[in-house]
Amino acid sequence: MKKGFIFDLDGVITDTAKYHYLAWKDLASSIGIEIDLVFNEQLKGISRMDSLERILVHGGKEQAFTLAEKEALAHQKNTHYVELLQALTPADLLPGVKAFLDEARKNAIPCAIASASKNAPFILDKLEVTDYFNVIVDPATLKKGKPDPEIFLKAAELLGISAKEAIGFEDAQAGLDGIKAANMFAVGVFSGEELHGADLLVERLDELDVLDLIRR
């Protein structure tokens, strides 16, 4: 029997990827780099500084900035991103999420958020779903980002369950690889991009029956 659910945030609970994209596109363009939606797929699940590094490599500018300048660029992107997040409301929950979380609560299955985003607590508040989560892993406490399994193992530890008792939910390949490296059952949330290695693929969370799922 599975005993807990571990959710990615961006792409599973809500679609903040579009806001990340707008903010990164603006920032990149201010330093003479163009990015498009295809490139943006590479940034999903990847931390803020790693995202900036990938953008700089993409633009051939990986040596152009000092660490302090890169930190300033990442800060500038985040300020814009947080401005865009102000518009979030509970209507921005992805379809089926609320129903699934209600089912989990009804069946007393504890839930965790394993998001690379330092803005996760703010986003969950805007969506009015903070109370559904027993644990929100703080990515600042981790040594490695996805696809390393660390964030998922930390979430299981904080939920007080083993990896084998956890089910992870991810929309991005990096995150899915992290769940599998943690030896957990992986639900892939498919949004149009190919996902490899999921134990189960769904388009919306309410395709899943909580009681069936925990028996896997």
Dihedral class, residue 178 (left if φ above 0, else alpha if ψ from -120 to 50, else beta): alpha
Using the rule CB under 6 A, is 11 a contact of ligand B16? Answer: yes
* 9 three-class SS: coil
Which one of residues 27, 35, 46, 124 is an interface residue with ligand B16 (CB under 6 A)? 46
Structure tokens at 139: 């990515």
Which one of residues 6, 20, 104, 132 is an interface residue with ligand B16 (CB under 6 A)? 20
For β-strands 185-189 and 4-7, DSSP reports them as unpaired
**Rounded distance between C-alpha atoms, residue 10 and residue 8, angstroms:** 6
Q: Which of residues 75-104 bind ligand B16 (CB under 6 A)?
A: 78
Structure tokens at 46: 């990847």
**Rounded distance between C-alpha atoms, residue 26 and residue 35, angstroms:** 9
Which one of residues 75, 118, 144, 164 is an interface residue with ligand B16 (CB under 6 A)? 118
Which one of residues 28, 93, 115, 133 is an interface residue with ligand B16 (CB under 6 A)? 115
Catalytic residue status for 8:
yes
Only segment of 5-13, 59-67, 179-187, 189-197 that touches ligand B16 (CB under 6 A): 5-13
Only segment of 7-15, 29-37, 91-99, 191-199 that touches ligand B16 (CB under 6 A): 7-15
182 phi and psi angles, rounded to 5 deg: -85, 0
* Site residues for ligand B16 per CB under 6 A: 8-11, 20, 43-48, 51, 78, 115-119, 172
Residues noted as catalytic: 8, 10
